[in-house]
Each structure stands twice: as structure tokens, then as C-alpha cells.
């Protein structure tokens, strides 16, 4: 039991903007109206946030583990966690090890993370890794938009079948929702090509286009009543002039819920690398007039990182551009994945445009319930650098200082210098916690109301925003004080959120022959056993029509 007194509470889910209020937590780790006895934390003069929620990150699974193997030089120089009685050893850096991932997220006040890209074939691996990430609660999304069994059904116009296939895969992977990456493009990459136009048929198909996949998959997610809508990584990522593809994609989503991942990478104008510029004004305008769609920034920070994505063709291009290491891993029937270490440099015009675009999106999209803090970890920067972004959002002066260090030629390519908006603490709390929790459909997260999970962060108020957000005074996860005065005190195991969408019973028999045709493991061994999930937490699917 725990009582927190005297703190200024920022709880956007309940419209509380800095009021001083007491918070009480019972023995089950739930926020309640009052408790008798137990510890009291005096939070006078301090700031209280709901625990952070990362809507889009890559912290576990085959791809990030491939990235770890590819970057020993970074592990060698980065921060190291030394083993203590209550804590395992590990390494931070660009692709932190599992235990360190939990400590770093919690150390920054984040208590829920969404691993945004899991191929079903290696989902068993992802869940084993997630079990080794302590403290934070976790959800995973299944990669669907290039699944050939599903694409074949879409091509044949068999909507119901396609829907059942999606539901079957979600439960086979024991995941929480659907991720679509470069719809059709990764399937085409298996023959070495890509899909850049929404209305052109995909390589290997007669009539199926990326646009059709986008619309159908969004409909399927709505019809299955998934708590989190389709999580979409649009076609044509990272390319100059891709804003037209992105807007075109958004138009295919009219009338549906959707979450657009790392939209910074999809908001460029220009025709080639020389003329590339930010087109965030156009994209932000679309979001401002379409409240059905949410997004995360996918902001870029200057420095070293490693890029990993299921977008295989883009990574091949990045390898050709940089000449650095390239890892590629295609997964049978389902998806692909590429890994390239990368350094974002302020002196590089393209990188400077990317840096500005991420911030512009966060500042130009007016409703913080629609745009969330993310770097698409580790692609735009490592998650433990989020406080640097918060500082850039909250301090216009600091932002102008940073812009001054960029090359002069950047001025005509970006709109950031003209924006003077500064995030308030209330808006920060929305963008890093309440908003993403609502988008994920996790009603007990990002919310300090009665009956919600007691995931609470307490900051000592100070002028240095980056410092304040990187060093919370207390972090409470499920009612347990896990961080206190900069030390990790407890390392409880996190839960995993799962959904079981309804699926026609004959889907098993329908899948079996198709499966045996293209996979190399037996059908019975393919779905992840429910018993293998440590601390599973089932979430309800609510059909859109019943809402």
C-alpha cells in the first residue's frame, strides 16, 4: 500500500492539469480512492505523471538480436550495468541487451512498451526475449501486410477468409495487434524489387495493389475489434517526395481507425536527395482534419544508431548509400527485415531535414492525443534519448540554438524556425503516456484515475528539462517503487498483453495445406503455446459495431 501526497498531478486522461492531489495505491497495484497504513511518499513540490507508454519500439526479437550481433563495437564503448544481488548485468547503447532495456526504460519513467514488429515464425523467440525484459509491461504486433497466404486471399477477393487468416495469425503469434510494413513492397523484395505506387499491382500479383491491402487490412482490424487499430508503416519510406505516397495512403484509410508509425520518415518533399525538403505542413494538416488517425513522430536525433526495419528494400538502398554493414533477413511467407548501422550528422542536409521534420510534426499536429513521442527506436535514435526530444519540444529557445548549428542551406527546406509553440507539461504527459495508451486501447495505462494500474512517475521539478525527464525521483510500477533516488530498487516481471480475436473454426483446416506448402516447420509446432507466455494478460476485442 502506498500513498503519494502533495504532488502536482498531470493526468490528461482525467483532465487534471497540475492540481495538487493525493494518490493512493492498494496491494494489487491499482489506484484507489483511499488506503489505510503503508508507506507515504511526500511529493510536495514534485511533478507526477502517469508511467510512460512507448507506442512503437523495437526491443526484442530476431531483428534487434541481429542488430546486437552486428554492433559489438558499440557494446564495447557504451554504458554497462554491473550485476548486483537484485539486478542482472547488461549493456546499454544502440541496441541494449534485454535486462538493460527494462532498466533503461524504467529509469526514464516508462512502464509500458509496444514491440512493433514480430514475424509469427519467430514470435516464440520474441516472447522469450520479452520475458527477459524486466519491470515494463509489453505488447507485440504481428507483421501481416506481406503475408502471402493473406495476400492470395485478398487478391481473390475473399474478404472473410482474409479476416480469418489475420485472426488466426494474431493468436498463433500470441500478439496484441497488426502491424503493416510497406504493404506489398516486402513481398516484392523477395524477388529483389519494391512497391512504391499505391495503385500499381504488386510484383507477382495480377490486381492486388498496396492501396487495396491498406484498406482491407484496416477494415479487418476494425471488424475484429482489435483494441489497437492497424499500425501502418507506409510504402516508400525515407524517399524524397514520398509525401504524395503518404497522403495517398491516408486517403485509403478514410473512415477507418489507423495508427501511422514514425511519420517523420514519410513526410518529405523534393525530387531527389539534393532537393529533399520537409513536407510536414501538408501531413500535419491532414492529421489536424482527420481525428480518426493517430501517429508517432519517429523523430531523429543526431548521433550513432542502428536502423532495423521489416522494410527490406529500403535497407538495401541505405546500404548502397552508406556502404556500411548490411544485414538482411527474409522470413518465409511472412516478411523481411534489414539492418544497417547509421550515423545522423547535423552537417548532412538530409539528416538535418529529418531531424527538423520529426519535431515539426510534433509541433504542427495540434492535438497531442494524435501525435506521440517516439524515435522508432533504434532507427531515429535510442529510446533512452527521449528526454532530449522533450527538451526540444518544451523550449523554443533551445530549439533555435540547435537550428543555428545546422548548415545555412537548410533554411529553405524546413519550417521549424518559424514555429514558436512550446509543449506544456500537460501536453508532454499526453504525448508520452495518456495518448499512446489510448491509441493502444490499454485503458488501465497512461491514466491515474481510480481503478487504473498504479504506474506513476514522480519528477523533481527543475529548469533543465532533459535532466528532469531522464532522472525521475521515483518510478512506481504496479504499485511497487522500482526506482528511487536514481537507484533500481525492485525488478518485478512485467506482463504481456494479448488478444484472441474471433476466428472461424474451419480456419485451421483451411490453413493447413497452404501452410505445409510454403513453411518449413510442422503446422502443430507453429503457433506459440499460451503456456510459454510469462504473465499473460488477456485484453478484450470489441467489435466496432458494438461500441
Partner 1 sequence: MTCTLGEVKQRADFIVYWGGNPAECHPRHFTKYTIMQKSKFLPRGRKDRTMVMVDIRETKSAKAANIFLQVKPGKDFELITILRALIKDQQVGDEQIAETGLTREALDDLVQRMKSCKFGCFFFGMGLSMTRGKHMNSAALLTLAAEMNAFTKFVAMPMRGHGNVTGADVIMRWQTGYPFGITFNRGYPRYNPGEFSTVDVLVRGDCDAAFIIGADPGATMPQPAINHLKRIPTICLDPHVTHTSKLARVHITTAAQGISAPGTAYRMDEIPMPLKPALKSPYPTDEEVVRRINEAIAQKPFWLPEGSQPQMISTQV
The residues that touch partner 1, with contacts defined as CB under 8 A, are 60, 62, 65, 68-69, 72, 75-85, 87-91, 93, 95, 97-99, 121-122, 124-125, 128-129, 132, 190-192, 316, 319-320, 326-333, 336, 487-488, 517-521, 525, 529
Nearer to partner 1 among residue 312 and residue 478 (C-beta): 312
**CA-to-CA distance for 410 and 350, rounded, in angstroms?**
9
Residue 84 or 543: the one with the smaller Cβ distance to partner 1 is 84
- The answer to whether 371 touches 365, Cβ cutoff 8 Å, is yes
Three cell numbers written together for 317: 538502398
Q: How many CB atoms lie within 10 A of CB 421?
A: 13
Q: Are 307 and 382 in contact (CB under 8 A)?
A: no
For partner 1, give the closer residue by CB, 122 or 142. Answer: 122
Residue 197 buriedness (CB in 10 A; 0-12 / 13-18 / 19+): middle
Residues in the chain: 547
Buried b (16+ CB within 10 A) or exposed e, 511-544: beebbeeebeeeeeebbbeeeebeeebebebeee
- Provide the angle, in degrees to the nearest 10, between the axes of the packed helices 148-155 and 507-518: 120
Q: Specify the 3-state DSSP secondary structure of 450.
A: coil
Least distance in Å: CB of 96 to partner 1? 8
- In angstroms, give the least distance from the CB of 127 to partner 1: 9
Residue 332 beta carbon to partner 1: minimum distance, rounded to whole angstroms? 3
Cell of 482: 522500482
Min dist CB 527 to partner 1, Å, is 10
- Three-state DSSP state, 183: coil
- CA torsion sign for 254, 260, 264, 266 is negative
User: Minimum CB separation from partner 1 for residue 531, in Å?
Assistant: 11
Min dist. Cβ of residue 518 to partner 1 (A): 6
Nearer to partner 1, 531 or 546 (CB): 531
d(CA 119, CA 121): 5
Query: Which CB sits closer to partner 1, 67 or 359?
Result: 67
Closest CB to partner 1 among 34 and 520?
520
User: Taking the complex as a whole, how short is the minimal distance between the CB of residue 102 and partner 1, in angstroms?
Assistant: 12
Of 228, 202, 192, 226, whose CA–CA distance to 150 is shortest? 202
Is the Cβ of residue 338 or residue 479 nearer to partner 1 in the bound state? 338
Nearer to partner 1, 506 or 531 (CB): 531
**Quick one: 520 or 545, whose CB is closer to partner 1?**
520
How far lies 423's CA from each of 112, 389, 427, 429, 465, in Å? 22, 11, 6, 10, 11
DSSP string for 335-347: B--EEEEEEE-TT
User: Per-residue DSSP letters for 185-219?
Assistant: HHHHHTTT-----TTSPPTT-SS--HHHHHHHHHH
Q: How far is the CB of 108 from partner 1 (least distance, A)?
A: 14
Q: How far is the CB of 282 from partner 1 (least distance, A)?
A: 34
Instruction: State the minimum distance, in angstroms, from the CB of residue 325 to partner 1.
Output: 9
Instruction: Give 15 or 72: the residue with its C-beta nearer to partner 1.
Output: 72
Does a cis peptide bond (omega within 30 degrees of 0) precede residue 378?
yes
Amino acid at each position: 500500500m502506498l500513498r503519494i501526497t502533495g504532488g502536482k498531478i498531470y493526468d490528461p486522461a482525467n483532465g487534471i492539469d497540475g492540481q495538487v492531489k493525493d494518490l493512493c495505491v492498494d496491494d494489487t497495484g491499482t489506484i484507489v480512492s483511499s488506503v489505510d497504513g503503508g508507506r507515504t511518499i511526500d511529493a510536495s513540490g514534485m511533478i507526477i505523471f502517469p508511467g510512460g507508454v512507448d507506442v512503437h519500439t523495437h526491443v526484442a526479437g530476431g531483428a534487434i538480436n541481429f542488430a546486437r550481433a552486428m554492433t559489438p563495437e558499440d557494446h564495447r564503448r557504451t554504458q554497462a550495468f554491473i550485476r548486483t544481488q537484485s539486478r542482472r548485468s547488461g549493456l546499454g547503447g544502440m541496441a541494449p541487451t534485454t535486462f538493460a532495456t527494462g532498466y533503461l526504460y524504467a529509469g526514464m519513467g516508462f512502464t509500458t512498451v509496444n514491440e512493433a514488429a514480430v514475424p509469427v515464425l519467430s514470435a516464440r523467440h520474441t516472447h522469450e526475449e520479452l520475458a527477459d525484459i524486466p519491470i515494463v509491461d509489453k505488447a507485440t504486433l504481428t507483421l501481416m501486410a506481406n503475408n502471402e497466404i493473406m495476400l492470395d486471399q485478398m487478391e481473390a477477393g475473399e474478404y472473410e477468409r482474409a479476416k480469418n487468416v489475420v485472426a488466426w495469425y494474431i493468436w498463433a503469434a500470441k500478439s496484441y495487434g497488426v502491424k503493416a510494413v510497406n504493404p506489398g513492397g516486402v513481398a516484392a523484395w523477395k524477388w529483389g524489387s519494391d512497391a512504391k505506387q499505391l495503385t500499381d499491382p504488386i510484383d507477382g500479383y495480377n490486381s492486388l495493389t498496396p492501396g487495396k491491402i491498406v484498406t482491407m487490412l484496416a477494415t479487418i482490424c476494425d471488424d475484429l475489434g482489435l483494441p489497437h487499430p492497424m499500425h501502418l508503416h507506409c510504402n516508400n519510406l525515407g524517399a524524397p517526395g514520398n509525401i504524395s505516397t503518404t497522403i495517398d495512403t491516408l486517403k485509403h484509410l478514410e473512415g477507418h481507425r489507423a495508427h501511422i508509425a514514425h511519420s517523420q520518415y514519410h513526410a518529405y518533399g523534393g525530387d531527389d536527395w539534393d532537393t529533399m525538403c520537409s513536407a510536414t505542413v501538408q501531413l500535419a494538416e491532414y492529421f489536424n482534419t482527420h481525428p480518426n488517425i493517430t501517429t508517432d513522430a519517429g523523430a531523429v536525433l543526431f548521433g550513432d544508431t542502428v536502423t532495423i526495419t521489416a522494410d527490406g528494400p529500403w535497407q538495401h538502398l541505405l546500404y548502397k548509400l552508406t556502404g556500411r554493414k548490411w544485414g538482411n533477413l527474409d522470413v518465409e511467407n511472412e516478411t523481411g527485415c534489414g539492418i544497417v548501422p547509421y550515423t545522423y550528422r547535423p552537417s548532412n542536409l538530409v539528416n538535418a531535414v529529418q531531424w527538423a521534420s520529426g519535431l515539426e510534426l510534433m509541433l504542427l499536429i495540434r492535438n497531442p492525443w494524435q501525435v506521440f513521442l517516439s524515435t522508432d527506436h533504434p532507427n531515429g535514435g535510442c529510446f533512452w534519448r527521449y528526454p532530449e526530444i522533450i527538451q526540444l519540444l518544451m523550449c523554443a529557445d533551445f530549439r533555435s540554438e540547435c537550428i543555428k548549428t545546422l548548415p545555412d542551406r537548410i533554411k529553405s527546406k524546413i519550417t521549424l524556425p518559424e514555429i514558436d509553440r512550446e509543449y506544456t507539461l500537460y501536453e508532454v504527459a499526453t504525448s508520452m503516456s495518456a495518448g499512446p495508451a489510448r491509441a493502444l486501447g490499454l485503458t488501465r495505462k497512461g491514466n491515474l484515475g481510480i481503478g487504473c494500474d498504479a504506474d506513476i512517475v514522480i519528477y523533481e521539478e527543475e529548469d533543465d528539462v532533459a535532466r528532469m525527464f531522464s532522472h525521475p525521483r521515483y518510478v512506481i510500477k504496479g504499485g511497487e517503487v522500482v526506482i528511487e533516488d536514481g537507484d533500481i530498487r525492485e525488478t518485478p516481471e512485467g506482463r504481456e498483453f494479448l488478444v484472441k480475436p474471433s476466428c472461424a473454426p474451419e480456419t485451421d483446416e483451411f490453413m493447413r495445406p497452404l501452410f505445409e506448402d510454403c513453411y518449413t516447420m510442422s503446422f502443430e509446432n507453429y503457433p506459440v503455446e499460451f503456456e510459454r507466455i510469462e504473465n499473460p494478460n488477456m485484453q478484450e476485442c470489441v467489435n466496432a459495431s458494438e461500441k
